[in-house]
Amino acid sequence: MTALRVGFVGLGNIGKPMALRLAAADDIELTVFDVAPEPLAELERAGASVADSVAALGVRVDVVCVMVRDDAQVRDVLGELLGVTGDAQTVVIHSTVAPTTAEELADTAARHGVSVLDAPVSGGPMGAADGTLAIMVGADDGAFERAAPALRAMGSKVVHAGPVGAGTRFKLARNMLHFVAFTAATEAQRLAEAAGLDLKALGDVVRHTDAITGGPGAIMHRETAAPLAPDDFWYGVFDHVRALGEKDLGFAIELAEQLGVEVPLAELALERLAPGLGLPPTDPSRTEGEH
């Protein structure tokens, strides 16, 4: 079987381990480019070829993976690729870009006969190093199939989310949850610190129990966010979640008031948990009685 010729541009904290996974794949012939010499040397030792420029890389490969810092750099790389006549007909943007960037670049690239996919990743440097990244892909079917061998060499969960742009929207929704949860964690730490608790021990417990229960993802099984009908299977499940959540949030807010700690996210969660789960708004008198 002929090896897929893949180029990789951008060998940073996540890009380098992603490229190393490609270099280790039996059915991929890898060429890399970066402005820093150290990661290029490491990739060369791993068996990759090194190109002198993005344009030089573009004429030697079939698929180009791009993992650079921001929208401006993504646009620069694509501009260099479109400026040469080569075999790179598929460009995969792994960088997390603005919501409309991938579609805009795909329109431009299509006039040059080049397909663009947006395929941001989740899992960080650790997931990149061990090949367990989640890769969320926006592409038409043909472009997805052309890039799939490279994507599957780098990630253990490759999701074809829809047309170009869907990968970025998928990643933004996932990371919104990530960083809202981080903010909630800082609120919980302030409460715990005011209560005289060990914050490192709290973190250990959170990581331990989230590994068992699935954390916020534990409620993410429905195919719609619409309100639930009373005879829906999930109604009873989420009504139980609501009851537990409102009770514990109420007690946490009561503790925060006693300690003089502001917990606005907890207060907002108490207000929005039920409708967010697809249930009717809770009678305020119920939660007031649980404080």
Q: Which residues are catalytic?
A: 171
Q: Measure the CA–CA gap between 59 and 34, rounded to whole angstroms.
A: 16
Token pair, residue 290, equals: 């649980």
CB-side exposure of 148: number of CA atoms within 13 Å? 10
Q: Measure the CA–CA gap between 231 and 238, rounded to whole angstroms.
A: 12
Burial status of residue 255 (CB atoms within 10 A of its CB: 0-12, 13-18, 19 or more): middle
Give the amino acid at 253: I
Let me know how many helices (H) and strands (E) the chain has, helices first.
12, 9
CB-side exposure of 215: number of CA atoms within 13 Å? 12
- First vs last C-alpha separation in the chain: 66
Burial status of residue 283 (CB atoms within 10 A of its CB: 0-12, 13-18, 19 or more): exposed
Token pair, residue 22, equals: 């490609």
Give the largest CA-CA distance in the chain. Answer: 71
Contacts of 259 (CB under 8 A, 6+ apart): 191, 194, 195
Q: Measure the CA–CA gap between 218 and 49, rounded to whole angstroms.
A: 43
Picking from 4, 13, 10, the residue whose alpha carbon sits closest to that of residue 128 is: 13
